[in-house]
Structure 1
Amino acid sequence: MKSFFKTLGAAVLGGAIAVGGYSYITENQENSYLLKEDNAQPELAVSQVSYEMPESMENVDFRDAASKTVNSVVHVINKTVTRAPQSFADVMRGRVPYREAIGTGSGVIITEDGYIVTNNHVIENAREIQVTLNNRRTYSAELVGTEPSSDIALLKIDTENPLPYVVFADSDQVQIGEWALAVGNPFNLTSTVTAGIISAKGRDLDERDDVMQSFIQTDAAVNPGNSGGALVNMNGELIGINTAIASRTGSYVGYSFAVPSNNARKIIEDLMEYGMVQRGMLGISGRDLNGSLAEQLGVDRSEGIYVADVVPGSGAEKGKLRSGDIITNIGGIRIRTFADLTGYVATKNPGDIVDVTYFRDGDRRQTRVEITKNSTIQIPELNLEVRDLDAEEKRLFKVNEGVKITRALGEFSKYSAAMQDYVIVKVNDEKINSTSDLKRAIENRDPREGIMLVMKNSEGEFERILVR
């Protein structure tokens, strides 16, 4: 096994350096994370939503929803240091020049004492974060925590007076075709409002990648600078955080995507309470059911999730789900795609009980499933997915600490099988006992320095790898 890294190490590390450098240069940002602990956390305001729509276009009036929202949307400034082009003198002397860069976006005030939600990509790698309110007052912001895979970040500012804030709505109840407003604060021009309708739900922008997404799609205009802004309903209540657009030009062409408010709220509450996101899982793997797959499997349904495998010891196994079942509903929410499923499960905590409707051999059945803790996390800086070790794996690898590599991601996925025989025991000489330790070590490092991994395989051999 040692020969795996000796023969392929140069290729893997060369790729890691190239990918990391590309990200570092193009994103113009630098890592800086601060987890704040506060025993008395504010309760996020949630509204029961009425979805009675106007009978005609003549009755549509956005003024009330806009007035409730504009003063709660802020301008976010990300100050960072990036690599500058090298001069001939820099090359000759082996210097790496740096320069200050500024990125901007929007954010949404969600509590009167200054908690603000925005996109992770708006503040990623920031050395300093500033927030400008709609009244043009500027404050320094503290980064409470982030969830990169969902592109959500939580900030905190301290002000003299209570702030206007947006109330959360239940995004599960959002209906396709209803009106929505996108509110952002781009380029520090004060808040701007655009209108559109909900075009779709449960959108995954790239089903081929390793990140499961479940966006709300709208045709309300969202342009650069609006990332992290609010998507609200006609009552001025938050139904999503504007995150992405689908465009070949980089500007709005009719497709905008927002993280549903239920997902954002769950992430925010976890960051406030734990400093990290507590992820749960149903405990199945499978695929979307469609007409061709249904014909191939010989089933009479063309919508839902076809269960391929059930994770041993998971809530799904205890709930008697098994391979071949077709899940069509969870918690009263219709499930047509895996994006629907992951979007719903992402709003739940480990220990929550959900009602699952499924079909087996053509018969409709129901069961109750406990959401169990999912300790598997992705580390983009390493292009790896890892999880905590269980007792059997600790005996196998003869270690008391470490995290198990479950697969390699991205361009390194072809090495996944070989890397699954390794555990990471140290990062930059810091012992790693859990995925939380690993994530913290990566986030707290100096981004201008490399990441030294110490890994051990099942044969007892250690490897040291430097990732830049």
Structure 2
Amino acid sequence: MPTIKRAFLTLSLFAVVAVAQAAKLPDFTALVERSSPAVVNIEATRTAEAALRRGQNIPEEDIPELFRRFFGQPGMPVQPRDRTSTGSGFIISADGEVLTNHHVVDGADQVIVRLPDRREFEAKVVGSDPLSDVALLKIQARGLPTLPIGDSSKLKAGQWVVAIGSPFGYLDNTVTAGIVSATGRRSLDQSQQYVPFIQTDVAINRGNSGGPLLNTDGEVVGINSQIFSNTGGFMGVSFAIPIDVAMNAARQIRESGRVRRGQLGVQIQDVTRDFARSLGLERSAGALVADVVPGSPADKAGIRRQDVILEFNGQEILRSSDLPPLVGATAPGTRVKLRLLRDGKERTLDVVLGELSAPESTAGAGGPPASASGGLLGLVVEDLTAEQRQELGLKADEGVLVSQVTGLAARRAGLQPGDVILMVGRTAVGSAAAFAKATEGVKAGDAVMLLVRRDGQTSFIAVTPRGDG
């Protein structure tokens, strides 16, 4: 009898706990009913005729299999096809302004917006910004339902959020919910480094792009933009553009047709443990300056390679990815304060930001005459020719080419043949002989910082030889 009573009490306790937990879970029905009328489906068509007028090549997938098999190359005289993609969006003004993703409407000749009440409108693309992946559309209508705009800067990990959209292009007004996993995430797409993405575990699939991410008050806090997936489907990691970033882009597009961003003119990277030790830092925080663009605001302000930027206008920089969104969100011409560390001492510099423009690519390097070994570093380097330096945009006495990577530490650090080494520590190297001299005192266990140019990008790489190859 006592055993039965204990079992009954245990079951009763479980039931009470289950009821209590269920009572704490949010009910999104009212939020969804209120928000859904303002969420739209978007169909973007890229017509073949318009593509041909623009001189664009016909995508290989548009060429019939017969031509691919027997003629081998695209560009055969075949009839091109129209291409249609779908996405989501939401209405932000009663007179027909709609927000969505840039990639949903990019290159489209015709954009159709479908409302939940089955009305359809042909939309005008007011403007589109690829760096933030935001597009502003306009449809000719009045008295439309709208979504209230929230404050994405107040989002915290663990908060509930809801997504509404059209996954796969036809499942209109699908609702999914989850939590904020993290904020300030760096995109896997380097072109979108100016967006501090919101990471969630909300189920997002193809077609959800451009739809709203809502907080529990029904306010838009983000635009669903990307998923991280090995299969093409949802895997628990989704990314949304903060609504603060999106609305700033929309405002500029509305006012001037384009988005202007501040530019500092540096290439930066994270401060690793080895870098921190080499630079005498107490912790691995800040943005390490790997290169400074000549003539840029950073150059004019006196920022140097190996400076570590700790604050931008009073906002702490913990990771290098924290800096670009802050710079990009600041208007060109603004005077800002940078707190940085140089030679173990903190200093403050005033910088007047320039305006961001499209980056230029830099050519790679070829084969040079003289060579030298880097001792314990396990590197063999060669002199660069004048032609190679000109292609790389280097000065006449700047850089050596890595021809062989023989050491285990160098391989583990990611160095590879074809890299161009510009500095060893704080010493610039412009010849194989100079490189050999700069590395002759390296001992096992030393953390050596190398400034490396690869594929037009300059960054520091730390190598710590162990004396065992």
Tell me the TM-score range normalised by the shorter chain.
0.5 to 0.7
1:112–1:163 contact (8 Å) kept in structure 2: yes
Residue number in structure 2 paired with 1:66 = 32
Q: Which residue in the other structure is 1:200 paired with? A: 182
Length, aligned pairs only: 333
Q: Which amino acid aligns with 2:264?
A: L
Shift of residue 234 of structure 1? Answer: 2.1
Cross-structure match for 1:433: none
Whole-angstrom distance in 1 between the partners of 2:297 and 2:23: 47
Q: Which amino acid aligns with 2:144?
A: L
Structure 1 residue 333: deviation in Å?
Answer: 4.0
Query: What CA deviation, in whole Å up to 9, does each residue of 1:26-62 have, x standing for no partner?
Result: xxxxxxxxxxxxxxxxxxxxxxxxxxxxx99716343
Alignment-derived partner of residue 274 in structure 1: 256
The code of the aligned residue for 1:108 comes to F
Aligned equivalent of 2:224: 242
Normalised TM-score (structure 1) = 0.62
Query: Rg: which structure is higher?
Result: 2
Correspondence 1:396-415 to 2 at 5 A: 406-407=361-362
Contact 1:176 1:197 in 2 (8 A): yes
2:314 and 2:175 mapped to 1: Cα distance? 33
The residue that corresponds to 1:172 in the other structure is: 153
Corresponding letter in the other structure for 1:135: D
Is residue 80 of structure 1 aligned with residue 46 of structure 2?
yes
Work out the CA distance in 1 between the residues paired with 2:363 and 2:144. Answer: 44
Task: Give the equivalent residue in structure 1 for 2:245.
Answer: 263
Q: Are 1:182 and 2:148 matched, yes or no?
A: no
Partner Cα separation in structure 2 for residue 238 and residue 222 of structure 1: 16
Report the equivalent of 1:7.
Answer: none
Task: Provide the rounded CA distance (Å) in 1 between the counterparts of 2:188 and 2:29.
Answer: 36
Structure 2 counterpart of 1:341: 323
Aligned residue type for 2:148: V
Deviation at 1:323, TM superposition (A): 3.9
Q: Does the CA-based 8 Å contact 1:263-1:346 persist in structure 2?
A: no
Decide whether the 8 Å contact of 1:117 with 1:228 is kept in 2: yes
Q: Extract unaligned runs of 5+ from structure 1.
A: 1-54, 378-384, 387-405, 410-414, 422-468
Matches of residues 346-357 of structure 1 in structure 2 within 5 Å? 346-357=328-339
Mapped pair 1:251 → 2:229: no
Q: How does 1:59-458 map to 2 (within 5 A)?
A: 60-63=26-29, 65-81=31-47, 83=58, 84-86=62-64, 95-159=77-141, 161-186=142-167, 187-206=169-188, 212=193, 214-311=196-293, 314-316=296-298, 321-331=303-313, 333-362=315-344, 366=348, 368-374=350-356, 376-377=357-358, 385-386=359-360, 406-407=361-362, 418=391
Structure 2 CA distance, aligned partners of 1:416 and 1:255?
43
Deviation at 1:138, TM superposition (A): 0.7
Q: 3-state SS of the aligned residue for 2:47?
A: strand
> What is the DSSP-based 3-state SS (H/G/I as helix, E as strand, rest coil) of the residue aligned with 1:99?
coil
Q: In structure 1, how many angstroms separate the alpha carbons of the residues matched to 2:228 and 2:390?
A: 34
Matched residue SS, 1:104: strand
1:120 & 1:87 partners in 2: Cα distance?
Answer: 31
For the 8 Å contact 2:185–2:197, the answer to whether it is kept is: yes
Identity between Structure 1 and Structure 2 (%): 37
Please give the secondary structure, in 1, of the residue aligned with 2:276. helix
AA partner of residue 391 (structure 2): A
Deviation at 1:119, TM superposition (A): 1.4
Contact preservation (8 Å) 1:408, 1:419: yes
Q: Give distance in 2, aligned partners of 1:361 and 1:68.
A: 57
Where relative contact order (Cα < 8 A, 6+ residues apart) is larger, the structure is 1
**Cα contact 1:136–1:190 (8 A) shared by 2:** no
RMSD: 3.4
Deviation of the 1:332 alpha carbon: 5.0
1:171-221 deviation per Cα after TM superposition (whole angstroms, max 9, x unaligned): 3332222222122134344322211111122323437x5653532211011
CA deviation string 1:366-415 (max 9, x = no partner): 555433212x21xxxxxxx44xxxxxxxxxxxxxxxxxxx5369xxxxx9
Q: Following TM superposition, by how much is the alpha carbon of 1:295 offset from its aligned partner in structure 2, in angstroms?
A: 1.8
SS at 2:278 equivalent: helix
